[in-house]
A and B are shown apart, each in its own frame.
Chain A
């Protein structure tokens, strides 16, 4: 019998990951901390809904993202949608060595929609499987995959890189010249 162990004892060990997810999602530490706080209270008071033996981290992440998106929906009804405002390309060319500068990346990442940030962090950085992410976000696995692809393409676009345009067979020489020129311009 597992009556001796309280799953709530497990909460502290997930807090750093939960907060990292919140910060990545909000892009703002104080909003993230409020979100983590709400999540802890909800998890604590709804612990009977947690199925012992399942992934507590995924359960907590799910509570957090549901809270985040429901606050966001509420706010959307109150004020004009600010998500519609997207900056153009952030940088005109990749660094000379062709590597992304982290600061540029960070800024591009913060420009993404929260749905895109979410899926990239969950599936890309925090190591959940597409199946886990599908369950956590309440969509089909195929939707997760296409969302990841769109998010990556959007990132590449914001970074001024060509990934978004699928390399068409026989891409014309002019395009290729522009692409490779962008890499060497800094010289």
Chain B
């Protein structure tokens, strides 16, 4: 019983930490280069 419990607790902690890994990456400021790239791609298309 206790082991099942511990296992569930561990799983929950892993999930929590995984979300944090992802969330920290998500919180990073997006570099301008991507917006610039999209603008370039659009420009190339409209001027061709």
Interface residues of A (CB under 8 A from B): 8, 11-12, 15-17, 19-21, 23-24, 29, 33, 36-37, 40-41, 44, 98-100, 102, 105-106, 109, 120-121, 124-126, 152, 155-156, 161-163, 167, 171
Residues of chain B contacted by A20 (CB below 8 angstroms):
22-23, 25-26, 28
Q: How far is the CA of A131 from the CA of B46 in the complex (A)?
A: 38
A8, B3: Cα distance in complex, Å: 50
| Contact B17 A12, beta carbon cutoff 8 Å | no
A11 and B35 alpha carbons, distance in the complex (Å): 10
Count A-B contacts at CB 8 Å.
86
Question: Which listed residue, A12, A44, A125, A161, touches B18 by the CB 8 Å rule?
Answer: A125
Given contacts A19-B28, A23-B28, contact A33 B22 (CB under 8 A): no
For A36, list chain B residues within 8 Å (CB): 34
A12 touching B35 by the CB < 8 A rule?
Answer: yes
Are B18 and A124 interface neighbours, CB within 8 A? yes
Please state if B3 and A100 are interface contacts (CB–CB under 8 Å): no
CB-CB under 8 A from A99, the residues of chain B are 13
Please tell me if the beta carbons of B37 and A40 are within 8 angstroms of each other in the complex: yes
A121 with B21: in contact, given A152-B11, A156-B10, A171-B3 (CB under 8 Å)? yes
